[in-house]
Amino acid sequence: MSRIKILPENLSNKIAAGEVVERPASVVKELVENALDANSSRIIVEVEKGGRSLIRISDNGIGMNHDDALLATERYATSKIRKDNDLFSIKTLGFRGEALPSIAAVSRFTLETKDKTSEAGTRIIIEGGTIRDVSEIGAPAGTLISVKQLFFNTPARRKFLKTVNTEMGHIADTVANIALGWPRVQFRLHHNGKIVKNWIAVSDPADRIADVLGKDMRNMLHRTDADDNVISVSGWIASPRMARKTSRGIYVYVNGRFVKDKIIQHALFRGYSGRLMKGQFPVAVLFINIPSDQVDVNVHPTKNEVRFAQQNRVHGIVADAVSKALNLADRPVPPTSRSQAKNWDRREPSEQPYISETADFFSPQTVPLEKKREHQDMSSKKGDIRPALPVKKKKSESIKTEGDERTRFFPEKQASLWENKPFRDLRVIGQFHGTYIICESDEGLVLIDQHAAHERVLFEQLKKQSSSSRNTSQKLLISETIDLSYSEADILEKLIPDFNDTGFEIEPFGGNTFVVKSVPAILGHGEIKPLITEIVEKMANIGVAPGLENIMDECLILMACHGAIRANQQLSDEQIRTLLTQLDECENSSHCPHGRPILIRWTLSFLEKSFKRIV
């Protein structure tokens, strides 16, 4: 008896579903792409319980007649491929032919459709891959597909689904990604009977970008265009000051298809060369149009990846387009355009007014006059120096002086400064490259990273404040609003109690918008939106769940990083002294919250041996 057998159709359909249908968001993606291929101008996505209970997609596209509707539910049936060459010249979004039968194989599936030439519509009901009913119905032109109880007959797959909010977050991101690439199509997303988002059709793609990414992004976008008669690139890139810590702000569309491509991402970085710090990612929305026979979209079952026939050519045109757009944006604004300059700040990140420019660590004499007036308006406290929050001092551990040549310049574990010789007793020599503070002690030379040091000070102050009942907050004269995606808004809503414990006052403002009314006093003079956005993005990457340990520490680290003085920032003697005094109040004065060393030291013995003064 033969051991090799042909699988029954219902089982092969379930296997195909495993490739195409990973989670509810996968169903939404396939069905929305089919709706776009049907020339729809309005697509409505209705979801219940994060897609577990129901996914319903309706459109006003061309629809199907009775015979086509029946064929569409068969495997390998498609209107988009006719011959072998078509596989290597895909011009549509959906094309595989097994999406509908695969979805129907693992759900209770209903298809209702009608084209303009038919007098009646067609309804097909399928349960677990088996057709239960086919009937004529009254229906408008277009298609409506309902997917109920996804994975009801594959419990092993169903148990791997995440929480309702997590799955809904993936769905919202999927629809938002597609909506961003199709601005002339209206998309409406519902969850449990409530409208989550309604993206109206717009003629200017920049309006859709602002609607998806947030209104604040609208005035930070630079248009980019390039065309070499074969490949064209268009879109918008954001000012480097809007850079993020993850790649979540990069949106790339190849012939209308949202993709994630390493070649294009590398080209983006090449275009931003010299403008981004290490670990930063640009915000960009790029549309690449290329002949369909020059790109393979059949690389992965989810169709999120592509392969270009001429990778170097694509890389070059994207990098050049981005670089030229940024160079144009960097040009000085003429006097007649000063009003526009207020909305288009073209300075590099290192030149931006960071939070620390008016932080309470500074002395009154060094704060610019206009900043000092602003500070006086927003706070009734006298002067600009606030002492570190009271913490219990911890005795420093003594450091053994190493006199041999094996002394390391960058020790893996940085020891505390020597006993009875704290930071405040160091003799300050000056600054090096506006980044490092050079000090002298009885034992030798000490080099302090000013950003790492101030970051540690702010982190411990914030942590102390969040764990105590004293929340020192500063009211904002004008509350700030923050627009987020659905999944990001869900994360921020969970984090609001933790934020408020540190001195923030954040409240939901309807939809995916939040309003910030107060901030921790030690962060009271900076850009709050980038800080909160970065925290939410980081939480989205590591995952937010009840009981997740150290989640607030991650938030506090980012707050401290945003609030700390930067490299290439000149400090006065008084500012340096204040920083050294505040370091003495820290429980851990050897490393910044990220783990980087705050100081390195060279003993006098080591220096003399290095210069061959002693042997």
Report pLDDT digits (tens) over 127-138: 998 999 999 999
pLDDT in tens, 548-561: 344 567 667 877 88
pLDDT band at 317 (very low <50, low <70, confident <90, very high): very high
pLDDT in tens, 142-158: 999 999 999 998 888 88
pLDDT score at 403? 39
CA distance 111 to 123: 6
Q: Is the pLDDT of residue 293 over 90?
A: no
pLDDT in tens, 328-366: 886 554 444 444 433 333 333 333 322 233 333 332 223
Tell me the average pLDDT across 279-301: 85
- The side-by-side arrangement of strands in the sheet containing 436-440 is 427-432, 436-440, 444-449, 599-603
Helix 486-501 and helix 551-563: axis angle, to 10°?
Answer: 80
pLDDT score at 400? 37
pLDDT in tens, 499-524: 887 788 999 988 888 999 988 876 66
Tallying the residues shown for the chain, one arrives at: 615
Helix 573-584 and helix 450-467: axis angle, to 10°?
Answer: 50
What is the sign, positive or negative, of the torsion defined by CA atoms of 414, 420, 425, 428?
negative
pLDDT band at 57 (very low <50, low <70, confident <90, very high): very high
CA distance 482 to 514: 5
pLDDT score at 154? 86
Q: Tokens for 261, please give them.
A: 């491509």
User: Bigger pLDDT: 350 or 16?
Assistant: 16
User: Bigger pLDDT: 497 or 225?
Assistant: 225
pLDDT score at 519? 86
pLDDT score at 543? 59
DSSP letters of 208-252?
HHHHHH-GGGGGGEEEEEEE-SS-EEEEEEE-GGG-BSSGGGEEE
pLDDT in tens, 391-445: 333 333 333 333 333 333 333 334 444 444 478 888 999 999 889 999 998 888 9
pLDDT score at 16? 56
pLDDT score at 216? 75
Whether the CB-CB separation of 124 and 111 falls below 8 Å is answered with yes
pLDDT band at 450 (very low <50, low <70, confident <90, very high): very high
pLDDT band at 76 (very low <50, low <70, confident <90, very high): low
pLDDT score at 302? 61
Poorest-confidence range of 184-188, 372-376, 607-611? 372-376
- Coil/strand/helix, residue 607: helix
Q: Is the pLDDT of residue 202 over 90?
A: yes
User: Bigger pLDDT: 348 or 245?
Assistant: 245
Tell me the average pLDDT across 24-35: 93
pLDDT score at 556? 76
Poorest-confidence range of 28-37, 121-130, 230-239, 536-545? 536-545
Poorest-confidence range of 1-5, 22-26, 221-225? 1-5
User: Bigger pLDDT: 94 or 472?
Assistant: 472
User: Bigger pLDDT: 272 or 44?
Assistant: 44
Tell me the average pLDDT across 21-41: 92
Task: Compute φ and ψ for 250, nearest 5 degrees.
Answer: -100, 120
Poorest-confidence range of 23-37, 83-97, 528-542? 83-97
pLDDT score at 294? 87
Residue range 9-199 forms a domain whose CATH class is: alpha beta
pLDDT score at 2? 63
Question: What is the chain's mean pLDDT, rounded?
Answer: 77
Q: Is the pLDDT of residue 368 over 50?
A: no
Residue extents of the structural domains in the chain: 9-199, 205-329, 353-615
pLDDT score at 356? 32
Least Cα distance to 295 among 310, 308, 277, 280 occurs for 308
pLDDT score at 501? 77
Q: Which CATH architecture has domain 205-329?
A: 2-Layer Sandwich (3.30)
pLDDT in tens, 469-493: 555 788 888 888 888 888 888 888 8
pLDDT score at 11? 61
pLDDT score at 536? 85
Looking at domain 353-615, what is its CATH homologous superfamily? MutL, C-terminal domain, dimerisation subdomain (3.30.1540.20)
User: Bigger pLDDT: 279 or 315?
Assistant: 315
pLDDT score at 539? 77
pLDDT score at 92? 64
- List C-alpha distances in Å: 373 to 75, 210, 384: 71, 33, 11
pLDDT score at 391? 33
pLDDT band at 164 (very low <50, low <70, confident <90, very high): very high
Q: Tokens for 54, please give them.
A: 């129901």
CA distance 363 to 384: 6
Tell me the average pLDDT across 179-199: 95
pLDDT band at 10 (very low <50, low <70, confident <90, very high): low
pLDDT score at 78? 54
pLDDT score at 526? 60
Read off the amino acid at residue 10.
N
Q: Is the pLDDT of residue 33 over 60?
A: yes
Tell me the average pLDDT across 164-173: 92
pLDDT score at 258? 92
Q: Which residues contact 280 (CB under 8 A, 6 or more apart)?
A: 243, 244, 245
